[in-house]
Amino acid sequence: MPRLTLAGQFDYAVSRTQPSLAPARVTGGAAYARYRFASRFALTGRAEYLSDHGGLFSGATQALKETTLTADYNVADGFLVRTEWRRDFSNQPFFLTETPSRLKREQNTATLGLIWWFGTKQGAW
């Protein structure tokens, strides 16, 4: 199994709901890198950018960005512990706050997951 995995993505979409209206356009991209340090431990980084002109995906014209760092530890065959930290941000106030009428430009999320599966060959991770 390779130690380093790299991936990239580019997206472009146009939607025109009525001929007399300006089209909504989305342009975006993502980059992904995963490095397996040992047979049981890997780190992954990901970054995404989405320019949502006309609010086609998010409902508002804005530039959305995201970064994520993920750590995986394969405890045993069929059992994985995953922790993830993610930061989403925008050039416009978009994310919810404790105050219903107030939005902010960023949000952070932390996750701890315990993943159990069966039916795979040993060493397939």
What pLDDT shows up at residue 124? Answer: 52
Mean pLDDT, each 10-residue run in order, the chain (125 residues):
92 90 93 96 98 93 98 94 98 95 96 88 55
The 3-state DSSP class for residue 23 equals coil
The Cα 84–Cα 45 span in angstroms is: 10
Residue 73 domain-assigned? Answer: yes
User: Two tokens at 18?
Assistant: 């009525």
Range of the domain at 40: 4-116
Domain count for the chain, please give it: 1
Residue 85 domain-assigned? Answer: yes
CA angle, 119 as apex, 117 and 120 as ends, to 5°? 85
Residue 121 domain-assigned? Answer: no
The 3-state DSSP class for residue 118 equals coil
What pLDDT shows up at residue 77? Answer: 86
Residue 122 domain-assigned? Answer: no
Residue 124 domain-assigned? Answer: no
Residue 60 domain-assigned? Answer: yes
